[in-house]
Amino acid sequence: MTDLSTLKVPGPTEIALTQPFWDAAAEGRLVIPHCRACDQPFFYPREICPHCWADAWDWRQASGQGRLKSFSMVWKPGHPGWAPAAPYAVGLVALAEGPVMLSHILSPAPVVGMVLTLAPTDIGGRVLPAFRPA
């Protein structure tokens, strides 16, 4: 498997709303929004809760456990910087808390339904949340 830390790839777009997510990711932690009004987690981060539209929510630590809901093997990356890593897997991870997030899957042969665990990974010089088979 390619050493992802050496890739020359663009990083994620950071805005004030998502800064806590990326800060936690850099520390190897996964945090997701949790609504104070309806007590439900959600992902992706957004101004209002998608369940009840309340604008009061906090970041909470996620367990880092989940299952692979779907995936795609990327053979022709959309950015040339990813070419040395191809083929690689990108998948939808159903987090144990409920929300689904898109992430890099550290497995050469992913299987839908497989149990995954958070694997903070240096990708292009910054630690980002990825998942590997548990």
Distance between CA atoms of 43 and 65, rounded to whole angstroms? 15
* 54 versus 115: smaller Cβ distance to Zn ion: 54
d(CA 60, CA 101): 15
> Which residues of the shown chain bind Zn ion in the complex (CB under 5 A)?
35, 37-38, 49, 51-52, 54
Rounded-to-integer distance, Cα 82 and Cα 86, Å = 7
Minimum distance, C-beta of residue 71 to Zn ion, in the bound complex (Å): 29
Q: Provide the token pair at 15.
A: 């805005």
Closer to Zn ion by Cβ: residue 17 or 52: 52
Taking the complex as a whole, how short is the minimal distance between the CB of residue 113 and Zn ion, in angstroms? Answer: 29
How long a stretch of residues is the chain? 134
CB of 35 to Zn ion, least distance (A): 3
Q: Which two tokens stand for residue 33?
A: 């929004």
| Comparison of 23 and 55: residue with beta carbon closer to Zn ion | 55
